[in-house]
Copies of this chain bind each other. A is one copy, B any other.
Amino acid sequence: MAAIRLVSVVGAGAASPRQYEQARQVGQLLAKHGLGVVCGGLGGVMEAACRGASEAGGLAVAILPGTDRHTANRYATVVIPSGLGQARNALVVSAGEGVIAIAGGPGTLSEIGFALKAGKPIVALDSWDIPGLAEAESPQEAVDCLIDRLGPA
Contact = CB atoms under 8 A, between A and B. Distances in A.
B113 A110 contact: yes
A87 B65 CA distance: 12
Interface residues of A, number: 50
Contacts of A109: 109-110, 112-113, 116, 130
B78 A86 contact: no
Contacts of A105: 116-117
Interface of A: 1-4, 6, 36, 38, 54, 59, 61-63, 67, 69, 72, 74, 76-87, 89-91, 94-95, 97, 105-118, 130, 132
A79 B117 contact: no
26 contacts: A1-B54, A1-B77, A3-B72, A3-B77, A6-B78, A6-B79, A59-B78, A67-B118, A79-B95, A80-B91, A82-B94, A83-B85, A83-B90, A84-B85, A84-B90, A85-B85, A85-B90, A86-B114, A87-B87, A89-B90, A91-B91, A106-B115, A106-B117, A109-B109, A110-B110, A113-B113
